[in-house]
Amino acid sequence: MPLNAAFEDAIRVTPEGANKYSANLRPEWCIGTVPHGGYTSAVLYKLALTHFEHAHPKQYTSPASPISLQFSFIRRTAAGPATLEVEDVKLGARTSTIHIKLLQPSEKQPSKLETKVVGYITVSPPDAEVGITVPTGWKAHPEPVPGSLPDGRINFTQLAETGKDGAWVKSAPPFPEFRRAATQLELYGPGKGETQQQRTGSMAIDQWARFRPCGDQNGKWTDAAVVYLLDMFPMALDGFDSVSANAVAKEKGESVADVKAKFWYPTVTLNIDMKKHLPAGGVEWLYSRIVTKVVRDGRTDLDVTVLDQDGEVVALGTQVGLVVSASRNVGTRKMEKL
């Protein structure tokens, strides 16, 4: 079976004409009724690869891999068919930049297509990535909680077999019926989100993750899957749930239990910097450090750093998000049963 066959099928992009493509956004990759932002971004990552393979097959001698992705999520998307449009902004020897649009039927006028997501993607083939490489000495601060091995590393074999290694334990995603996209991976952290935030005194979250698309126990992290991972942090959202619920409960005089699980955190903008290509066969484990600096007036920031088991940075993500009622997600839509 091909690597991550279910995921590759879920992000499939099909040429339909000159600079026009189609995709089918899947309900199992949704948060509520809205396709997950990282999953949608992975579809657009695949769009860039497909576009250069289809429209510019002789531009490069190796695949035109995205190195920078910048997206604005203008309107909520929906599970189902999507039209993808591409404009070639610059075609260059080392880098090329395209402008993309994702369109779906308007909720108010279903007979008309409207733009849901826009963005720019810059690509560069791996064999053109030449130049100086300099270590900067950067490390995550505070340092992640150590594992059980003598040098402080995690015993990943034990973690996989038992779900525990030292303080690191397997975490069940909160509210999986609503956050279905969060069930596509296994997450391990040194405590739940609220526990981690109490330990560090900040809204910082650590996690190790294994990819399990549609239950595939042989799933591996690939470059396209990393794009999904950069927007996947259920333990951080658990912390957001606690912070948001306490704030609303205090304002309205309600109990925290009555308020929790009533929030949606839609992505407004997402910027991705791909730093390192993963092996063609993928990798089993990736680490993420997720940091939020300010939550104000229902708007958040999120910085995500993804590292491999060697401690090398694989990708960086920054985004602007909102904290809104979950009712804004569902609205008049009905959640599809899987």
Find the mean pLDDT for residues 95-111: 96
- Answer yes or no: is pLDDT of 282 > 60: yes
Residue 203, phi then psi, degrees to nearest 5: -90, 65
Find the mean pLDDT for residues 83-91: 98
- Answer yes or no: is pLDDT of 328 > 70: no
Q: Among the listed ranges 59-68, 196-205, 268-277, which one has the minimum average pLDDT value?
A: 196-205
Rounded CA-CA distance 228/205 in Å is 17
pLDDT band at 1 (very low <50, low <70, confident <90, very high): confident
- Answer yes or no: is pLDDT of 103 > 90: yes
Q: Helix 193-200 to helix 234-252 angle, to the nearest 10 degrees? A: 80
Q: Among the listed ranges 177-181, 197-201, 229-233, which one has the minimum average pLDDT value?
A: 197-201
Token pair of 150 as six digits? 């003598």
Which CATH superfamily does the domain covering 156-330 fall into? Hotdog Thioesterase (3.10.129.10)
Of the chain, the end-to-end C-alpha distance in Å amounts to 23
Question: What are 242-266's pLDDT values in tens digits?
Answer: 665 555 555 666 654 554 456 778 8
Whether residue 50 contacts residue 13, with contact meaning beta carbons closer than 8 Å, is answered with: yes
Q: Among the listed ranges 13-27, 167-181, 256-270, which one has the minimum average pLDDT value?
A: 256-270
**Is the CATH number of domain 5-126 2.40.160.210?**
yes
pLDDT at 36: 95
pLDDT at 64: 93
Q: Among the listed ranges 99-113, 170-184, 322-336, which one has the minimum average pLDDT value?
A: 322-336
Find the mean pLDDT for residues 133-145: 89
pLDDT at 279: 95
Highest mean pLDDT among 88-97, 135-144, 240-249: 88-97
Helix (H) or strand (E) holding 15: strand 14-17
pLDDT at 129: 84
- Answer yes or no: is pLDDT of 338 > 50: no
pLDDT at 204: 85
pLDDT band at 297 (very low <50, low <70, confident <90, very high): confident
| Paired residues of 154 in beta bridges | none
| Paired residues of 24 in beta bridges | 81
For the chain, domain boundaries: 5-126, 156-330
Token pair of 173 as six digits? 């995603």
